[in-house]
Amino acid sequence: MLPQAPIGDGPRVNEDIQSPKIRLIDENGEMIGVVTVREGIERAQAAGLDLVEVSPTAEPPVCKILDYGKYKYELQKKKNEAKKKQKIIEIKEIKMRPVIGENDYQIKLKHMRRFLEDENKVKVSMRFRGREMAHQDIGMRIFERVQADIADLAKPEFGPKREGSQIVMMLAPLKN
């Protein structure tokens, strides 16, 4: 049976280590070898540190002698740093009508440009009502115009495609 990773949050420490034998690394980072858990804990206590299981799934598990509080702090710091660097991409929606005026079109285009410059995806949708349903070709022409006007900033991820009484298109920002 293979050793299991710890279920709680964080690695197992000192008496929580369940394997009878461990591969031990001392506080200076030097390999000691395979020893019993009791011997590892005694060495850690002699150094005034903790025995921490750093690789629980290895055979035998790898344990290191280190300051557990400092180790947890470093892990938390790395996690926060990774979180800081990640960019969350939002999907912004622009709604149009088939009878859109030129000024309204230009304003919607300006909003799309701003969203794409902020590296967000833009969902453009056009709803048809009543007699407008017979003239969906007008909506398709507007979408083709949008694609042409925004080609320097975005590429269509999908669309334009019809979904019932509306046409939808998703624009993704170009990679710089």
Q: Where are the domains of the chain?
A: 14-84, 91-173
Q: Are 137 and 98 in contact (CB under 8 A)?
A: no
C-alpha span between 164 and 133 (Å, rounded): 10
Asked if the domains at 14-84 and 91-173 fall in one CATH topology, the answer is: no
- Percent of the chain past pLDDT 90, that is, above it, reads 47
CATH code of the region 14-84: 3.10.20.80
What residue has token string 């298109």? 169
- Percent of the chain past pLDDT 70, that is, above it, reads 94
Greatest mean pLDDT among 47-51, 159-163, 168-172? 168-172
40 has which bridge partners?
A: none
Residue 78: half-sphere exposure toward Cβ, Cα within 13 Å: 6
**Whether pLDDT at 6 is above 60:** no
**Whether pLDDT at 2 is above 60:** no
What residue has token string 């990774």? 82
Q: What does the DSSP 8-state code read for residue 121? A: E
pLDDT tens per residue across span 74-130: 888 988 888 888 778 889 999 999 999 999 999 999 999 999 999 899 999 999 999
C-alpha span between 134 and 140 (Å, rounded): 12
CATH code of the region 91-173: 3.30.110.10
Assess whether the previous peptide bond of 56 is cis (omega < 30° from 0): no
